[in-house]
Chain A
Amino acid sequence: MTLTRRDFIRAMALKSAAVAAATLFPGISFAGWTPTDLPADSILWSKTPCRFCGTGCGLLVGVSGQRAVAVKGDPNCSVNKGLCCVKGYHSIQILYGNDRFTTAYVRKNGKMVPTPIEDALDIVASQMKASIEKNGKDSVSIYGSGQWSIPDGYTASKFFKGCIGTNNVEANARLCMASAVTGCLTTFGLDEPMGCYEDIDNADVFITWGNNMAEMHPVLFSRMLANRKSKTHVQIIDLTTRSTRSSLAADKSILFTPQSDLAIANAICYEIVNNNWVNQEFVANHVSFHKGKTNIGYGTEDHFQFTEKAETIDFDEFKAFLSDYTPELAEKISGVSAEDIKYLAALYADPDKRVTSFWTMGMNQHTRGTWINNLVYNIHLLTGKISTPGNSPFSLTGQPSACGTVREVGTLTHKLPHGVVMNEGDRKMAAKIWDVPETNIDPKPTFHTVEMFRALDRGDINFMWIQVTNPMVTMPNLKRYREGAQKEDRFIVVSEIYPTPTSDVADVILPSALWVEREGFFGNSERRTQHNAQLVPKPGEAMCNTWQLIQVARRMGFEKQFPWKEETYIEDIWNEYTKFHDNPKHRMASYKVLTERSGVQWPFVDGKETRWRYNGKYDPACQADTWDFYGKPDHKAWVWLRPYEPAAESPDREYPFWLNTGRVLEHWHTGSMTRRIPILHKAVPESYVEINPEDARSLGVVNGSKVKISSRRGSIVMKASINGRGNPPEGMVFVPFFDESYLINELTLDAFCPISKQPDYKKCAVKLERA
């Protein structure tokens, strides 16, 4: 191509204007002006949400030619205001690992053979059809993720629930935030937090419940520290089962025995009630009291069933129930001194302090996860500290679109994009929008995640399509589920970007386009929807997960439901999906608005985002200028009577240690992306077991010694870490799960909260030996 002098001068004129604009407005982008319009050595910056955790930091990705070459924080994004964590700053390197899947593979005679992707999609469609014909519609399933972009999850739900007619749709967010969902639903009648990250700038006291935000939500933790630095009275209280980096930064760290948070929360309520610290006016007008079933089990057996039955009670019955949870009695269960429990209660009750509670997996991965969510809400409701700036009970999510794709789209067996499959009105709405017969949508939920993998093991499910997640590392009691996936007559499809233990069990691997290689949307922890454009080309035959689903659906005869063109299908899907939420309680921003802004919070009504729900001063869905918990028929938030019940498995003479699992700052989930970023891999190259120094001394192990950890389900040998970044108390060990070389979930127990069906990865019993 020849460039005339005139063309050159015109290009320079445009470039000069673009540079001036970028200087004034970092992150600015211009419609219809692609990187190819610019000289090859220039960098075009575009906004995108980060690919990793649920914080939803805004990034600016710099593209030169056709390659992402740089990352910086997006100063226009209110979430992070230009700051990123170490994962965010290195995020574009996940696109360029050497072992990226760029072609499809199909298992032939036991070996994975490269196959043209169109042929692989033919095989997927024919296998699904064959399984349905032979074993019925409920023999096929899809298992997705909170890393699914919103169009991925929406298309999966429409395809499986609307077209095929099976409710075998689940996502790994069941493993990370299902208890937060049921906590919200049981207390407020609607899902997702009422507050927003501006609470961090307004709170006087932060109480974190089993939550290591310094490593798991570092940008939000930095925002907390900034608030504390700017106002000398701000306090951070770390309520935890293991000392972490968050503990070091906190004003006070309080260690408690695993599972005893239930007793602590009730004891705090006891103190609030018995000291007459209850906000009487708020409680009288906006709260009602209820109790549910007790001794509800742990779900460790196949086909476990539980149905909650709520009874309305009065305040006196609630007060009488709390008499079992005096601070002194709670001290015996929790190991937390009565004095510290009283201190926490006084902080929550102080009328001059705004209090925000944060939690993530400590409360959600819990066999009474719904209950402990309810109990922390109880504290905020009794004191009226909710839905105002700085007063917020707030469950943070761990994945970039656990809220957007799983909680809002409803990619769980019982859910629809609006409402649940059990509700006739919700089914009618879905059938109308999806253009399918109402009878297609089955009114009965099928399997939640653990039970879905049990069904695969039993043979009740023969076909499973796994997208954007790595269950062969993350499922608890892993050995059973890996062996189940490898049985004869099972067909596993895996849409992935890199080889993982999950792609190892696949019969077909479909290469996925990743993050900014395709257009999409994420929804973060604070009800913020964020759009990303495609910024770089897809490698090889990699294909967007949404488009993979559409291609297979069309092959199975559902062309009418998936008519969209490849150039515009993401926008078309967004326009269709948002019909489900076209009401003041959940209205979402238009495609155009989302492409222009660094995220928009819903409800988005009359061009205005809603910062605090359920408060008429901020929420247009409220019927009055005060609190209105409109998710419940009585327009009140429900305080629940929930007792302490022990963990499914506790240390005993044979297995005397608690096993606690989790993440580290540098690696995200199973490490399939971050372990391919050289600097992050070098920082934490392998997993380890944290042991208390006293326990290490008793065992005769030192830092780096090999230790054999055994539970009733399996054993693993790994190196000891003593006085590392985390320090468990005596009688507990902690193992990060990012390293597929050490499958710690072969030891964990597949017990779950009977209400949320979320497994407990924080508590099972193990023994230690020198290896």
Chain B
Amino acid sequence: MPIFSFLAYPEKNMKDQLIKDLSHMDYCEVKPSENQDVLILLTDTPDEETNKDLITTIKALKSLQSLSMTFGHTDV
């Protein structure tokens, strides 16, 4: 049951789209910044395989420029 957090950076002018894309995904919690083009992404998945698939899906988003991990825990 891994838990990770990331700073997610949108492509130019795509912050709202990125928030929408991530908010619609299972296992994702999004906290957008009010005053910067960045958002916090928390992933909380049931197992490592789901986590791996989720990250792959997230990385494929057109609205996402980059994803930087800030915290990771897998033994929950």
A17-B40 CB under 8 A given contacts A6-B76, A9-B76? yes
Q: A47 touching B42 by the CB < 8 A rule?
A: no
Kindly identify which residue among B1, B42, B73, B76 contacts A17, using a CB–CB cutoff of 8 Å. Answer: B42
Interface string of B11-50 (1 = CB under 8 A from A): 0000000000000000000011111101011101000000
The answer to whether B32 touches A31, judged by C-beta atoms less than 8 angstroms apart, is: yes
B7 A30 Cβ-Cβ under 8 A: no
Interface residues of A in 25-56 (CB under 8 A from B): 25, 27-33, 47
> Which one of A12, A14, A25 lies within 8 Å of B31 (CB-CB)?
A14
Give the residue of B33, B44, B68, B70 whose beta carbon is less than 8 angstroms from that of A30: B33
What B residues does A24 contact at CB under 8 A?
7, 38
Q: Is A28 within 8 A of B76, CB to CB?
A: no
Provide the bound-state CA to CA distance between A12 and B36, in Å.
Answer: 22
Q: Which of A265-296 contact B (CB under 8 A)?
A: none
Residue A309 interfacial (CB < 8 Å)? no
Q: Are B3 and A30 in contact (CB under 8 A)?
A: no
A595 within 8 A of B: yes
The digit string for A584-626, where 1 denotes a CB below 8 A from any CB of B, is 0000000000011110000000000000000000000000000
Number of interface residues, chain A, beta carbon within 8 A: 28
Encode B57-76 as 1/0 by CB contact (under 8 A) with A: 00000000000101101001
Neighbouring B residues of A31 by C-beta, 8 Å: 31-34
> Do A595 and B36 touch (CB < 8 A)?
no
With A5-B76, A6-B76, A9-B3 as known contacts, state yes or no: A28 contacts B42, CB within 8 Å.
no
From residue 1 to 24 of chain A, which have CB atoms closer than 8 A to chain B?
Answer: 5-6, 9-10, 12-14, 16-21, 24
| Residues in B whose Cβ lies below 8 Å from that of A27 | 35
- Docked complex: A559-591 residues within 8 A CB-CB of B: none
Query: CB distance A13 to B34 under 8 Å?
Result: no
A17 touches B35 (CB 8 A): no
Q: Is the CB of B3 within 8 A of A10?
A: yes
Chain A stretch 238-271: residues in CB contact (< 8 A) with chain B: none
CB distance from B53 to the nearest CB of A (A): 19
Q: A30-B33, A32-B31 are in contact. Are A13 and B73 (CB under 8 A)?
A: yes
B33 and A28: CB pair below 8 A?
yes
* In the complex with contacts A30-B31, A47-B35, A597-B35, A21-B40 CB distance below 8 A: yes
Query: Given the complex of chains A and B, what is the CA–CA distance between A595 and B35 in angstroms?
Result: 8
Given contacts A17-B6, A20-B70, A28-B36, contact A10 B42 (CB under 8 A): yes
| Chain B contact residues, majority secondary structure | strand
The bracket for how many chain B residues form the interface is 20 to 34
Shortest CB–CB separation between residue A172 and chain B, in angstroms? 32
Closest A residue to B73 by beta carbon equals A9
Known contacts being A5-B76, A21-B38, A25-B38, is A13 close to B33, with CB within 8 Å?
Answer: no
**8 Å CB contact of B71 from A12, A28, A595:** A12
Given the complex, which residues of A lie within 8 Å of B34, measured CB to CB? 29-31, 595-596
* Residue of B32, B33, B68 with most partner-chain A CB within 10 A: B33
- Assuming the A-B contacts A10-B44, A18-B40, are A30 and B32 also in contact, with contact meaning beta carbons closer than 8 angstroms in the complex? yes
A486 to B71, CA, bound (A): 65
| B7 contact set on A, CB distance < 8 A | 17, 20-21, 24
| B5: interface (CB < 8 Å) | yes
Q: A16-B71, A18-B40 are in contact. Are A28 and B35 (CB under 8 A)?
A: yes
Taken together as a complex, chains A and B put the C-alpha atoms of A17 and B68 apart, in Å, by 9
Contact B32 A17 (CB under 8 A): no
CB distance from A98 to the nearest CB of B (A): 34
Distance A596 CA – B71 CA, assembled complex (angstroms): 27
CB distance from A286 to the nearest CB of B (A): 39
- Expressed in whole angstroms, the Cα–Cα distance for A491 and B6 within the complex equals 60
Chain A residue numbers with a CB within 8 Å of B71 are 12-13, 16-17
Contact call B70/A17, Cβ cutoff below 8 A? yes
Which B-chain residue is minimally distant from A32 (CB atoms)?
Answer: B31
A117 to B40, CA, bound (A): 42
Chain A residues positioned under 8 Å from B32 (CB to CB): 30-31
The docked-state distance in angstroms from the alpha carbon of A29 to that of B32 is: 9
- Min distance, Cβ B39 to any Cβ of chain A, angstroms: 8
Question: Which 7 residue pairs spanning A and B have beta carbons closest together?
Answer: A13-B5, A16-B71, A13-B71, A17-B5, A17-B40, A17-B70, A20-B70
Residue pairs across A and B with Cβ atoms less than 8 A apart, 16 shown, are A9-B3, A10-B3, A13-B5, A14-B5, A14-B40, A17-B31, A19-B70, A20-B68, A24-B38, A25-B36, A27-B35, A30-B33, A31-B33, A33-B31, A597-B35, A598-B35
Further 8 A-B residue pairs, CB within 8 A, beyond A14-B31, A19-B70: A10-B3, A13-B3, A14-B40, A17-B42, A21-B36, A30-B33, A30-B40, A598-B35
